[in-house]
A and B are shown apart, each in its own frame.
Chain A
Amino acid sequence: MKKSDLEKLKSIVGENNVKSDPADLYIYGSDSSVHNALPWVIVRPENTEHVQKIVKFANKNKIPIIPRGGGSGMCGQTVPIHGGITLDMKLMNRILEINMPDVYCRVEPGVVDDDLNMALKPHGVFFPPTPASSRIATIGGEIGNNASGVRSVKYGATRDAVLGMKVVMANGDLVDFGAHTRVEASGYQMHKLIVGSEGTLGIVVEATLKFVPIPEFRCLGIANFDSIKDAGEAVGEIMASGANPSMLELVDSIAIKAVNKTMDLGLAEVDAALLYEADGMVVEAVDYEINKMQKICKKHNGKDLKASYDPDERAKIFMGRKKLFPALSKYDEALSSTSLADDMAVPYSKMADMAEKIHAVAKKNNIVMTAYGHCGSGCMHTKILMDTNRKDQWASAKKAITEIYEYVRSVNGTTSAEHGIGLSKAESFKIEKANSLDTLKAIKKALDPNNILNPGKMMQAPEDWVTATDLRYSVNS
């Protein structure tokens, strides 16, 4: 980046909001994914006007611009594959309005999910997507990736909770998409399009979100299974039965071991466990749902069934699931947990096969893989545990991922349920969306003709994720 460009950016946001030391570039060059590529500069806008000026400048000079929230993305969405300006949105962190009569709130993109929920709690409501990373994930990042989490089975993903937004487009114009009302029939639902676009179509500077009442009663149950196939089949039948869980999570034996090891939760070390939750305003309704799910679990050889309304017990079990991703790092001292092929979705009837497929592929390729996730919403998570120093392990991981995605597509599943595409999943995404890629490219071209907004992601990403960027690990040859 030219010195004059740096000066221009400083003149927009002030010297204190621009960083370009090599250490800063290195830090902002990675996220929670396996990728690493350096931006040219990091800029922190404090307000919408700053964003507009920065985008206009970048557009005029054809400089890539990558919005970034908490940097907790798992697929390299904020890794600047073509360099450019990383736009750190965390200073735009104001909760602007909590409007109880009209049941919406307005927030800036840098607001952290947990903070929003803490502000909403006194009003008896919550913002439902609940990703596991809610303590760090910003609303802007959640919008970019259409984040969801354990409660999405009942309450939906971020896209379902967004009513409208203010967006700075690639030419620097500020536009309003959506509305402040619960329904809107007119025109293209641009705010829904922006959700999940990974910063490639515009930069969200304000979001209008709906919230839902915090239920009076929550009951969380556990069922253990000696066979992951049984657990997967129970998930399928629960969802097909018309049950309405507020959480339905599957964890496999590797995930259970990892959580026990780091959190000391004392979960029974079985082949698989299902966590199922129901919530509501009337205890009888919650009991009805829990009983229904337990009956189905029993039918599929579920054992050690228990359920609790006790907040401490529920919090302990929920915390274990919430911290599962980092806990996987402790599964084996020699192995690191990597975010690869980590959130595919498959039809309910294929959930059991999917879990078994993951374990079979891992065995075949001599790596360790977990199967867990928000199975109630069709999402299966995996993590690949491997010795990241070994080049051959990366080759095995690549083979395993290709096989897994082939299976996912063969059963009409989808590449990403909630973490997005970024760089890591572009290969499968492009195969899956082959006949609509031209449409996606045309939309991108229309809204960002100079291709400055987070270029090189999703349909533009390189085919091979291993060589798309440097890996953030030290890999021996």
Chain B
Amino acid sequence: MKTKTIECKNLKKWEKTLASCIRCGYCFEHCPISKYTRWESDTPRAKIIMAHGLVSGSLEPSDYIAEKLFSCFFCKRCETACSSGVSLTDIFIDARKDLIEAGFNITGTTTLTRPDCVLCLACVRECPHEARLLVDNKIITDPVICQACGRCVEVCPTGAALNGLDFGTSKQALQHETMEYLQKSKKSKAIVFACNWSYFPDLQSSIQVAADNKTYKIIVNMCGNRLEKETLIEAFLNNASGVLVACCPDGDCEHNGNEKAKSNVQYVKNLLQSINMDPETIHLVQIEHGDKSGFQMEIDTFMEKISGNK
């Protein structure tokens, strides 16, 4: 079937790389988007297949394809998993460029600005990627550069900066997941918020029906930037026995999300102390990338500590 094609000026250079992806699927494992939707179409491999389809002319560009290619949190876990060394996110960026040039105007995971923005420019100053721009008296997001880290959303005083598609990582979604878990049983339970880089030591794609009596749940918040104070407080309001926050070591986070997480955890510590609650029931750990066993050890230590505090 002959399809309509676009000029893949930027993608073209990846033609050989797109063929060298052997489609092993190792990139599925930690992609927060495909883990959330549970569709193969949302995996990093699927994005590569779509890019191949666009370059080879066997896939007609569409809003649907553009939405998928504009949806990425740039955690680059797919690249870490890929032994073929495919630079997946660079390919996604070039696909975005080509799609924009072809006239596709899609948000995906990139951020938006509501019309009631007061132009305080806090988001422009805060964005570590210089993706928030003041153009013609409006704040716009460069959808090629935006890595959806969420700093602009966190810093916006009026709530005018919004996430596009959040795939379960928005404040509301994190709070919902937290509440749902904590309210399910009367047993005291803790929440472990894990940055997607933390390689959390848990089942990735399956569910254990008779889970061994775990008294905590790991919730992936993508990046420390997305972990707002309210989310941390919400856990305690729902009787969490403790909250452990895992983020990258200093200097490792591309979005400075670990700094934000540290500051928010300290804020909640102070808050707990001010109302005579134990500040040690919230704790932040910085996990080296790939250190599954180190992370599990931190969880076990924290759980033991808070159970001893009771």
Contact = CB atoms under 8 A, between A and B. Distances in A.
B205 A93 contact: yes
B82 to A, nearest CB: 7
B83 interface: yes
A-B pairs, top 9 by smallest CB distance, nearest first, are A326-B83, A115-B206, A329-B84, A136-B25, A323-B83, A115-B203, A111-B206, A474-B56, A112-B205
B19 to A, nearest CB: 5
Contact of A263 (B29, B60, B83): B83
Contacts of A19: 39, 41
Contacts of B207: 93-95
A309 B25 CA distance: 31
B2 interface: no
Interface string A442-472: 0000000000000000000000000000001
A133 B24 contact: yes
A52 B195 CA distance: 39
Contacts of A116: 206
B40 to A, nearest CB: 6
Contacts of B16: 333-334, 336
Indicate the member of B23, B68, B206, B212 with the most A CB atoms within 10 Å. Answer: B206
B15 interface: yes
A26 B58 contact: yes
Given A95-B207, A262-B84, A326-B82, A135 B20 contact: no
A339 B53 CA distance: 20
B209 A94 contact: yes
B20 A72 contact: no
Given A23-B68, A71-B40, A96-B209, A474 B84 contact: no
A111 B68 CA distance: 25
B28 interface: yes
Given A93-B205, A112-B206, A263-B83, A32 B65 contact: no
Interface string B32-47: 0000001111000010
B20 A336 contact: yes
A283 interface: no
Contacts of A323: 26, 83
Contacts of A24: 39, 41
Given A26-B58, A118-B203, A330-B85, A136 B24 contact: yes
A21 B66 CA distance: 13
A119 B205 CA distance: 12
Contacts, number: 151
Contacts of B55: 474
Contact of A90 (B21, B83, B84, B205): B205
A230 interface: no
A473 B19 contact: yes
A28 interface: yes
Contact of B22 (A22, A28, A97, A326): A326
Interface in A1-60: 19, 21-24, 26-28, 30-32, 44
A115 B205 contact: yes
Interface residues on A, range: 35 or more
A111 B201 CA distance: 17
A26 B23 contact: no
A129 interface: no
B106 interface: no
Interface string A308-352: 000000000000000101111110011011010000000000000
B49 interface: yes
A24 B67 CA distance: 13
Nearest to A338: B22
B59 A23 contact: yes
B88 to A, nearest CB: 13
A418 interface: no
Interface residues of B, number: 46
Interface in B195-209: 201-209
A22 B59 contact: yes
Contacts of B41: 19, 21, 23-24, 27-28
Nearest to B67: A23
Nearest to A96: B209
A24 B50 CA distance: 9
A337 B23 CA distance: 11
Contacts of A333: 16
A22 B208 CA distance: 34
B48 to A, nearest CB: 10
A96 B49 CA distance: 34
A116 B207 CA distance: 9
A118 B50 CA distance: 32
A71 B40 CA distance: 9
Interface string B200-229: 011111111110100000000000000000
A115 B201 CA distance: 10
Contacts of B15: 474
Nearest to B25: A136
A474 B62 CA distance: 21
Contacts of A90: 38, 40, 205
Contact of B208 (A30, A72, A119, A339): A119
A26 B49 contact: yes
Interface in B148-168: none
A26 B55 CA distance: 14
A256 B53 CA distance: 32
B204 A115 contact: yes
B236 to A, nearest CB: 29
A114 B49 CA distance: 25
28 contacts: A19-B41, A23-B50, A23-B53, A26-B50, A28-B41, A32-B22, A70-B28, A90-B40, A90-B205, A94-B206, A94-B208, A107-B206, A110-B205, A115-B205, A115-B206, A118-B202, A118-B203, A119-B208, A323-B26, A326-B24, A326-B83, A329-B22, A333-B16, A336-B16, A336-B19, A336-B20, A336-B22, A472-B23
Contacts of B38: 44, 90-91
Contacts of B46: 27
Interface in A58-108: 70-72, 88, 90-91, 93-98, 107
A388 B19 CA distance: 8
A416 B52 CA distance: 30
A327 B40 CA distance: 23
B3 to A, nearest CB: 8
A389 interface: yes
Nearest to B49: A27
Contact of A262 (B25, B29, B53, B85): B85
B294 to A, nearest CB: 14
Contact of B23 (A30, A97, A119): A30
Nearest to B24: A326
Contact of B83 (A88, A110, A262): A262
Contact of A22 (B21, B26, B60, B210): B60
A342 to B, nearest CB: 11
A242 interface: no
A323 to B, nearest CB: 4
B213 to A, nearest CB: 11
